[in-house]
Amino acid sequence: MGADTHWFLPINPAAHPEHMPTDWRTREDATAGWEAIGRSQPVDRWCLRTGFRTMRAGDVIWAYLSKRQELCAVGTVRRTAFEGTADGGGWYVYVDWDEHRTAQLCRHPIPRSAFGQVPMSVGRVGPIPAAMLTQHLLEDQRGPVRGMPR
């Protein structure tokens, strides 16, 4: 993983209440929340309202839990595709989640205060947060990166 373009994929965990543990907002570990989202829909396919014209295979994508305001998963874009349906259809992104790094992020989510950008919809990560997040990806073998929580 090392693409120059990073994306935020905001996810509202409250949209999946029947699958969420009762303490999903307050527990430190986001694993149960991420797993609950996976029980409510396929986590490798997400509907896009924005970004679909410029998102490319190999771009890095970060799952942002909007109500918790933290990053809990990271992967790469496999592809984007328009899928027609009876009501017109829409654009989708297919994501290959990095299981190892996502497990680490679920155990130690990155709070929004560490990268500063507020993801309101699917969108590109700004240059400064992207540099911080790239450094986070590179630090696996070298220990914690200053400024990033562990």
Tokens coding 30:
């986001």
The Cα–Cα gap between 25 and 51 comes to 28
| 3-state secondary structure (DSSP) of residue 8 | strand
Residue 24 vs residues 21, 32, 65, 113, 141: alpha-carbon distances, Å: 5, 7, 11, 19, 30
pLDDT at 150: 37
Express each pLDDT in 25-84 by its tens digit: 676 777 877 887 887 777 889 888 777 788 999 999 999 988 788 999 999 999 999 988
pLDDT at 26: 73
pLDDT at 50: 74
Q: What is the pTM assigned to this prediction? A: 0.83
Q: Band of the pLDDT at 130, cuts 50, 70, 90?
A: very high
The Cα–Cα gap between 76 and 44 comes to 10
The Cα–Cα gap between 34 and 47 comes to 17
